[in-house]
Amino acid sequence: MENTRKERKFNNISETVKKYVTGHVSDVAAYLGLIVCIIVFTVTSDGRLWGNYNLTVLLESVCVYMIVSLGALFVYSMGFMDISVGSQMGVYCLLTILIVNATGSLLLAIAVVLVLTLICGAFNGFVAVWLRLPSIVTSLFLMFIFGGIQLLIMESTGQNSISINYDLSVMLEPWFIVIVIVLVAVMVFYFFNFTKLGKYTRSIGANERATSQCGVNTTKWKVIAYMAFGVSVTIGTFFLLARTGSAGKSTGNSYSMDVMLSLILGGMPLSGGMKSKVRCAIIGSFTYALLSNGLIISGVDINMVYIIKAIAFFIVVAISCREKGVFLPR
Amino acid sequence: MKKSLKKIVVYVLAVAMCIQMGATLIACGRGGDKIKIGVGLYQDSGPAVTATKNYLNGLAEALNCEFEFVTLSQTSDEENKTTAQSLIAGGCKGLIFTMDGGVTPAILEECKKAGVYLAGYLCDYDVNYETIKNNEYFLGTVVDGSYTGYAWGEHVAERIIAEGHKNIGMIKFPGFAFPHQAEMDQAFREKINEYNATAADADKITLTTTMELMFQPLADNYFQDNPNIDAIFAMCAGVDFVYPTLVKNGKTNIKLYTAGFSTDNDVLNNFGTSGNQCIQELVFSNVEAITYPLVMLVNKITGNEFSDNPTEAQRVDSSQLIITNNTQLDLVKTKSLYCTGNVKDAFLSVDDVKALLAVNGGTHAKLVQAVQSMDIDDLAALNG
């Protein structure tokens, strides 16, 4: 009798767990990916993963991914994407260096970069709607423009890279990085979950037509979402610049894909919608940075790093695919 | 069926990943008290990379070192800093980098935090040398040939004059990437002008304006713009960027004097008096030049110092193999570490390198002399 009751209780629990897992496959896969990375690299790095120096390094590399990914949530939750962000960041880094070196004013550089990111955000959002183009096409256009500008600036300097004459080292202090990450995460969490911006962007991702028929001006919210992304790009740019103190022809270029990969590794559906969560950016950024860092400190052959990353990425995508029988739905 | 197949694919990949991780577990982190040195090269494959890896791995046991190889980005400072940080976090006590850039001071900051030392290999650290030469964590660098390009420029001019070429095409990489090619260009022109000053009109040599290649192959219309050239002095890597265009346009009658080298048969079989006889001169640096940063790092990490240790980090020239005829090419093909990848063919044996360490009575002067005694005559002498 007692045994049957226990059995029933156990069955109930396992049924609940099973239901939760079935309903949250992508979340479980994302958490699992992070946990597996932590366990595997703790062992393979002989504990170096947890060394003070490595934790600082990890924090430094996570911060840019996370800040930009958090902003990108607004865009990706609509099922849109922006592949111009890397080139944009490269140009903003160069502009900041040129402005600061010429005027000594970091504030002026921040203001210029912020205005430019907002303009580009508005452009990306508005033109995509106005010309009825897929968002990737307008961002592709911006990517080429900014890529060209980056090359022109570097050609005009006659150097491979240029350095900033301003001490940004405070931005690399762990306490500063943590404060900024927490602030950005809290603000994004608030705007994403408790304001119209987050609700409308997710509902655009879920069903744009239905959202529009409910009286929501989708064009307006798309533009605002891209502009919100622009703000996080501005913050990310300054952390990126603080890391190296210099910028060159391909500074930032990899971030377009890195941000996308971070979000996907965090369980973000590429189609956007209601399953988009702030934690996708947070978990994904950690997993992505950990993958790169952990493989190298574990002494994995550099030629294998890309292959392992690709396998890990494929597994997460395959597991977190939320529609039966289809990879990367919609 | 379809669903099962997908599941199988996912599980197989997961298992593959676990196996790789397992292999890593076995392979990594078992260095004991060995000195771990991270080596950042600007290429991920090719004969130079293979030879460098073989050479260092051949020295590893004798020097109680282990090496971790990574590929640096030629354009992204941020990637290079991340790579340096990961190497340091992975337990490297020293770094040998083939790349400078705006990020070097930031990398040295990381070195300072972790007590790690940095030295350069086939890189002149031109961007930052003045600011970092007194940095305690920068131990100097060995240059890709000579720091200034004058010597080779003069040498090629002398050959061009001797061979009797009259119309010379001049090609180099942009100054922002290779500033010292301007010196090569200048030395070459001065030597030719000197010759022209006394030569009869019919014997005078004309030079084209120096064209800058933006790391793209020479354009086909180059030969329409310069129809009379009979030789090209390519200060850039002409084997990769000029020779293919000559072949494509049927212009292999134009003689090519170029920096760079290739183990590609198409190049080796058309050198000097062989094949189409287009390529007349090749030049490249020796892999063994890495001995300089390696010895400097091992000395520092083991707490030893040369009696004549320089007070500031040095930028040391290294010998290059300048190949001007088929005999020399054959020698390089069969007896140089670069081509054979065999440590036994190295200019410096394991014992030679050990003897250069401060702890074994080596001096900085001897180390410099060692990396500057590796030219084609030295190779010939070494092989009887």
Cα–Cα distance, B291 to B371 (Å, whole number): 7
Mean pLDDT of B134-150: 91
**For residue range B273-286, what is the model confidence (pLDDT) as tens digits?**
999 999 999 999 99
Task: Decide if B102 touches A, using CB distance below 8 A.
Answer: yes
Using CB atoms within 10 A of its CB, is residue B342 exposed (0-12), middle (13-18) or buried (19+)? middle
- Residue pair B83/B104 in contact by the 8 Å Cβ criterion: no
Indicate if the pLDDT at residue B55 is higher than 90.
Answer: yes
Please give the residue range of the domain that contains residue A59: 47-320
Q: How many CB atoms lie within 10 A of CB A194?
A: 10
d(CA B286, CA A306): 30
From-to residues of CATH 3.40.50.2300 in chain B: 35-142+287-318+345-382, 150-285
B320, containing H or E segment: strand B320-323
Q: How far is CA B300 from CA A288, B35, B138, B305, B314, in A?
A: 35, 11, 11, 7, 15
pLDDT of amino acid B28: 44
pLDDT at residue A159 in the model: 77
Q: What angle do CA A287, A289, A291 make, to 5 degrees?
A: 65
> Does B27 contact A299 at a Cβ distance shorter than 8 Å?
yes
Are B88 and B114 spatial neighbours (Cβ–Cβ below 8 Å)?
yes
**Largest pairwise CA distance in chain A:** 85
- Name the closest residue on chain A to residue B81, using Cα atoms: A244
**Is the model's pLDDT at B2 over the cut of 70?**
no
Chain-chain contact of B106 with A303 (C-beta, under 8 angstroms) = no
Instruction: Name every chain A residue with its beta carbon within 8 A of the beta carbon of B101.
Output: 160-161, 246, 248
pLDDT at B11: 58
Residue A132 token pair: 């009825």
Nearest CA in chain A to B106: A244
Whether residue A142 is contained in a domain is answered as: yes
- CB B363, CB B307: distance < 8 Å: yes
CA-to-CA distance for B239 and B248, rounded, in angstroms? 13
Residue A17 lies in a domain: no
pLDDT of residue A195: 95
Predicted pLDDT at A328: 44
Query: Is the Cβ pair A318, B9 closer than 8 Å?
Result: yes
Mutation to test the B interface, candidates A54, A65, A161, most B Cβ within 10 Å: A161
B3 reaches A (C-beta below 8 A): yes
Instruction: Please determine, for residue A160, whether its predicted confidence score (pLDDT) is greater than 80.
Output: no
Q: Which among B9, B27, B77 has CB closest to A244?
A: B77
pLDDT over threshold 90, residue B322: yes
pLDDT at A1: 60
**pLDDT bucket at B14, cuts 50 / 70 / 90:** low
The better pLDDT of the pair B215, A221 is held by A221
pLDDT of residue A319: 65
Question: Over the stretch A83-93, which tens digit does the pLDDT of each residue have?
Answer: 899 999 999 99
- pLDDT, averaged across chain A: 86
pLDDT greater at residue B138 or residue B237:
B138
A299 or B116: which leads in pLDDT: B116
Residue A224 in this model has a pLDDT that exceeds 70 = yes
Min Cα separation A137/chain B (Å):
26
What angle in degrees, to the nearest 10, is found between the helix axes of B77-89 and A52-76? Answer: 140
Cross-strand bridge partners of residue B70: B40
Going by pLDDT thresholds of 50, 70 and 90, the confidence category of residue B24 is very low
Instruction: Quick: pLDDT tens for B154-210.
Output: 999 999 999 999 999 999 988 877 878 899 999 999 999 999 999 999 999 999 999
What pLDDT shows up at residue A316? 67
pLDDT of residue A329: 41
pTM greater than 0.90 (yes/no):
no
Output the 3-class SS for chain A. Answer: CHHHHHHHHHHHHHHHHHHHHHHCHHHHHHHHHHHHHHHHHHHHCCCHHHCHHHHHHHHHHHHHHHHHHHHHHHHHCCCCCCCCHHHHHHHHHHHHHHHHHHHCCHHHHHHHHHHHHHHHHHHHHHHHHHCCCCHHHHHHHHHHHHHHHHHHHHHHHCCCEEECCCCCHHHHCHHHHHHHHHHHHHHHHHHHHHCHHHHHHHHHHHHHHHHHHCCCCHHHHHHHHHHHHHHHHHHHHHHHHHHHCEEECCCCCCHHHHHHHHHHHCCCCCCCCCCCCHHHHHHHHHHHHHHHHHHHHCCCCHHHHHHHHHHHHHHHHHHHCCCCCCCCCC
Residue B226 φ then ψ, to 5°: -130, 70
- Inter-CA distances, A210 with A185, A214, A217, A223, B35, Å: 29, 6, 12, 18, 64
CA nearest neighbour of A222 among A232, A233, A210, A212: A212
Would you state the pLDDT for residue A78? 92
Buried b (16+ CB within 10 A) or exposed e, A70-93: bbbbbbbbbbbbbbbbbbbbbbbb
**CA-CA distance, B8 to A326, in Å (whole number)?**
15
B38 touches chain A (CB under 8 A): no
**For the ranges A68-72, A162-166, A314-318, which has the lowest average pLDDT?**
A314-318
Average pLDDT over residues A41-53: 87
Sign of CA dihedral A85, A90, A94, A96: positive
> Interface pTM (ipTM) of the complex?
0.78
Cα distance between residue A245 and residue B218, in whole Å: 35
- Does the pLDDT of residue B26 top 50, yes or no? no
Q: Are strands B231-237 and B255-259 parallel, antiparallel or unpaired?
A: parallel
In a domain, residue A87? The reply is yes
Q: How do residues B27-49 score in pLDDT, each as one tens digit?
A: 444 445 899 999 999 887 888 89
Short-list B316, B261, B265, B255, CA closest to B283: B261
Contact B245, B220 (CB under 8 A): yes
Q: Which residues pair with B141 in a beta bridge?
A: B120, B315
A141 belongs to a structural domain: yes
Which of B24, B43, B87 has the highest number of chain A CBs within 10 A, making it the mutation to test binding with A? B24
3-state class (DSSP) for residue B207 = strand
User: What digits encode the pLDDT tens for the residues A282-319?
Assistant: 999 999 999 888 888 887 776 677 787 777 777 766 66
Kindly report the number of other CB atoms within 10 A of residue B77's CB atom: 29
Interchain contact B81–A (C-beta under 8 A): yes
pLDDT confidence tier of residue A271, bands split at 50, 70 and 90: confident
Percent of chain A residues past pLDDT 70, beyond the cut: 92
Q: For residue A135, name the pLDDT band (cuts at 50, 70, 90).
A: confident
Q: Give percent of chain B with pLDDT exceeding 70.
A: 92
Bridge partners (DSSP) of residue B315 are B141
| Number of structural domains found in chain A | 1
Q: Which of A1-10, A122-131, A142-151 holds the top average pLDDT?
A: A142-151
CA distance B156 to A278: 63
**CATH number for the domain harbouring residue A239:** 1.10.3470.10
Pair B205, B196: CB distance under 8 Å: yes
Q: Give pLDDT, residue A10.
A: 76
CB contact under 8 A, A251 and B76: yes
pLDDT (0 to 100) of residue A234: 96
**B61-108: pLDDT as tens digits:** 999 999 999 888 877 888 889 889 989 988 899 999 998 877 889 999
Tell me if B356 sits within 8 A of B289, measured CB to CB: no
What is the CATH architecture of B35-142+287-318+345-382? 3-Layer(aba) Sandwich (3.40)
| pLDDT digits 0-9 by tens, A96-133 | 999 999 999 999 999 999 999 999 999 888 887 788 78
How far from A149 is each of A89, A106, B149, CA to CA, in Å?
Answer: 12, 21, 32
Taking CB atoms and an 8 Å cutoff, what residues of chain B touch A299? Answer: 24, 27-29, 68, 90
Query: Does a structural domain hold residue A247?
Result: yes
The domain B150-285 is placed in CATH, from the list 3.40.50.2300, 3.40.50.720, 3.40.640.10, 2.30.42.10, at 3.40.50.2300
Question: Between A240, A297, A324, which is nearest B90 by CB?
Answer: A297
